[in-house]
Copies of this chain bind each other. A is one copy, B any other.
């Protein structure tokens, strides 16, 4: 059984859909899940995009918001369209690396996405990340100090470089062996690929 790498960006709407579901799905399938936060910003910038494609291409953006509503309804997930999009996912991604080390990564990731897409909170703000950590019974100052340490910042940079090497160009993405799957719609296919041990 191959492990399932889950590559996500906190600014990404469709990553929310996968992050909310993947823990239970992987567990039910008996698949080892590896959470891989990364930054889409540098990847988009290399493609010449200085903003989300959903803002750059308005018809695509209008569609995406309606699609999110429908999908969240189908999954039974809370959703409120954020008053600003995209949010800055940098601090959340740095903090996620620390949370994953500490064994509370899944809960932290789900908490941040919920704050962002169900409560319209600005997850780019330190106080909102602190709120999520407090809700998990963690000391925000301790976790955030580790998140902001130069070595941890470097780790996130390395992780984003690794995403590019994996051929990743959007989020969420799933990697199983040498196979890449892009988009929340491919979560099921990715899990199935784990059983094939690709």
* A residues with CB within 8 A of B: 47, 57, 59-60, 62-63, 66-67, 70, 164, 167-170, 179-183, 185, 189
Contact partner, A57, options B63, B169, B181, Cβ 8 Å: B169
Most buried by B among A67, A179, A181: A67
Copies in the complex: 2
**In the complex the two chains form, is B169's CB within 8 Å of A63's CB?**
yes
Asked if A59 contacts B167 (CB within 8 A), the reply is yes
Name which residue of chain B comes closest to A184, CB basis. Answer: B185
Do residues B59 and A169 form an inter-chain contact, with CB atoms below 8 A?
Answer: yes
Judge whether B180 and A60 touch: CB under 8 Å.
Answer: no
Tell me the smallest distance from the CB of A67 to a CB of chain B, in Å.
7
- The complex places the Cα of A59 from the Cα of B167 at a distance, in Å, of 6
Q: List 21 A-B contacts (CB under 8 A).
A: A47-B57, A57-B169, A59-B164, A59-B167, A59-B168, A59-B169, A60-B169, A60-B170, A62-B167, A63-B167, A63-B169, A63-B180, A63-B182, A66-B179, A66-B180, A67-B181, A67-B182, A70-B179, A70-B189, A183-B185, A185-B185
Interface centre among A164, A169, A185, by most B CB within 10 Å? A169
- Chain B residue at smallest Cβ distance from A170: B60
CB distance from A162 to the nearest CB of B (A): 14
A193 to chain B: closest residue by CB: B70
User: A189 contacts which chain B residues (CB < 8 A)?
Assistant: 70
Q: Which 7 A-B pairs have the closest CB atoms?
A: A59-B169, A185-B185, A60-B169, A59-B167, A47-B57, A63-B182, A63-B180
Contacts of A62 in B (CB 8 A): 167
